[in-house]
Structure 1
C-alpha cells in the first residue's frame, strides 16, 4: 500500500531534502522516524529536492507499507519523533502506482524578501535593502511566463533531458517593506527559481532592461542571467496532484 505524506520544514539547519553522505537532510530524518515507528526499513521519495537552507510549506513524499495504517496515529507519532523544524501535516493513502515525484501536475515556489532589518526574519527571508521598480519586474514576469526553455536559469551540468518548463503563473507582490515572488510550473530545473529572482532583482534595480531579459532567455546561457539569490528566502509552497489518485 502506498501513502502520501504532506510535510513542512524549516530548511535552515539541513543540507537540503535529499539524503547525502556529508550532512543531515530532511529526507534522512523522516526515514529514520518512519522506520523506527513501523519497525521496518522505510524509504520515502519526495516530489522534488530542495537545496541546503531552502524551506517547504508543503513537500509531498510517498512510502510503501505491507498493511493498512492508522494515518492519524502515524502523524502523531512522527511529529513526536521529529524535531521542531519538521512537521507532518497529513498522511493519505493513494493508488499503488502513483509517484510523488512523477504524478505532480504543478509545483509552486515563493521567494520572500524584506527591505527593513528584522531579526525575526533571519534565515526565513532575504534582507535586500535597495528600492525596486516593481512595475518593471512584473513586466519581466509576463515575459518569463510566456517562455519555454529556461536553460539560462539552470545550474550547469544538470542531468536533464530538456530545459522546457510550462510556467502557469509568475507575479511579484510588494507589501510595505516586504516583497513576494510567486511562480508555479509543471516542473523546475535545479537552481531555476533563485537564478530567476536574481535576474528579476537586476530588472527592478534597472540594471537589466526588458530587452536585455529577452536576450538572456534567448541565449540559453546561465552566465548571462543574474546571480542566484540566497536560499533562505525560498519556499516550496505547494504541490498539486490529480484528485483521483487518493483513496481516502
Structure 2
C-alpha cells in the first residue's frame, strides 16, 4: 500500500532533506526510524529537496509499506524521531501517487527580524538594525508575477531543462512594529536557492543598495551575476504543498516564528 506522510521539521541540525553519504539528512533519519520500527529496510520519496538548515512547516513523502494491523505507526514514529521532526498524518492512498512528481503547487515563507531575539535565532533570519523600505520590497515582489524565466535567480541554471517557473503569489507581510517581515511565494516549481536569491535582492532593494530597475533587469535580461548571493537559510520554510488529490492545511501552530495568529501579520500595501 502506498502511504503519504504529512510532516514538519526544523532544519537547523540537518544538511537538508536529501540522503547523501556522510551527512545527517532528514530523509536518512526518517528512513532509519521506519526501518527500525518495521524491522525491514524502508525507502521514502520526498516532495522536494530543502537545503541545509532550511525548514518545512508542511512536507510530504511517500513510501510503499505493508503494515501490521495492530501497529499505531503515527504514535511509534513520533516517539522514536527527534523533537525537530514531527509526523502529523499518515494517509493511505490508492494507486501510485508520487510525493514529488504529482505536486502542482508549492509555497514558501521567508522570515526576517531586524532586532536580536534569542528565541527567533534558529527560525528566522536576523538582519540586524536594517532600515528597510517595505513598499520598495513590495514593488519588487509584485514584479515576480509578471515574468516567468528565473535563470538569473538560481544556482547553476544550465543544469535545468528549463528555468521557467510560474509564480502565482508573491506577498510581503510585516508585524505592526515593522521589525519582523514575512515574504510568501507560491509557484508550480522552484529552482535551486531561487527563493533565497530573490529574498537577498529584495533586501537590497529595501536597504537602497539595489534599485527596482536593477532588480527587474535580472528578470528581463535573465543574465545571472558573476557572484550569486542568497539570503540566510534559517529564515526559509517550505510551508504548503498541494496535489490534485490532496490539499491539507499546514500545522503552523507548532512554530512560534509564524506569529501567534495570522492576524499578527499585515500585508504591506502600496
Scaled to the shorter chain, the TM-score interval is over 0.9
Match for residue 147 of structure 1? 147
Match for residue 78 of structure 1? 77
Take 1:150 and 1:167, find their aligned partners in 2: how far apart are those partners? 10
Take 2:32 and 2:229, find their aligned partners in 1: how far apart are those partners? 36
Checking the alignment, whether the CA contact within 8 Å between 1:94 and 1:245 is kept in structure 2 is no
Tell me the SS of whatever aligns to 2:189.
coil
Take 1:10 and 1:193, find their aligned partners in 2: how far apart are those partners? 18
Match for residue 11 of structure 1? 11
Take 1:193 and 1:68, find their aligned partners in 2: how far apart are those partners? 41
Take 2:21 and 2:246, find their aligned partners in 1: how far apart are those partners? 37
Take 1:180 and 1:16, find their aligned partners in 2: how far apart are those partners? 22
Tell me the SS of whatever aligns to 2:79.
helix
Deviation track 1:95-120 (CA, whole Å, cap 9, x = no partner) reads 32210001111101010000111011
1:28–1:198 distance in 2 versus 1, CA, 3 Å: same
Take 1:164 and 1:109, find their aligned partners in 2: how far apart are those partners? 18
- In structure 1, runs of 5+ residues without a counterpart are none
Tell me the SS of whatever aligns to 2:203.
helix
Shift of 1:221: 2.6
Shift of 1:159: 2.9
Shift of 1:16: 0.5
Checking the alignment, whether the CA contact within 8 Å between 2:155 and 2:228 is kept in structure 1 is no
- In structure 2, runs of 5+ residues without a counterpart are 249-270
Checking the alignment, whether the CA contact within 8 Å between 1:37 and 1:77 is kept in structure 2 is yes
Tell me the SS of whatever aligns to 1:188.
coil
Match for residue 198 of structure 2? 196
* CA root-mean-square deviation: 2.0
Shift of 1:65: 1.5
Shift of 1:69: 5.8
Report which stretch shifted further, 34-43 or 46-55. Answer: 34-43
* Structure 2 residue 220 is the aligned partner of structure 1 residue 218: yes
Deviation track 1:191-235 (CA, whole Å, cap 9, x = no partner) reads 000000001011111222222122111232332786201101001
Q: When the two structures are superposed, what TM-score results if normalisation uses the length of structure 1?
A: 0.93
1:238–1:225 distance in 2 versus 1, CA, 3 Å: farther
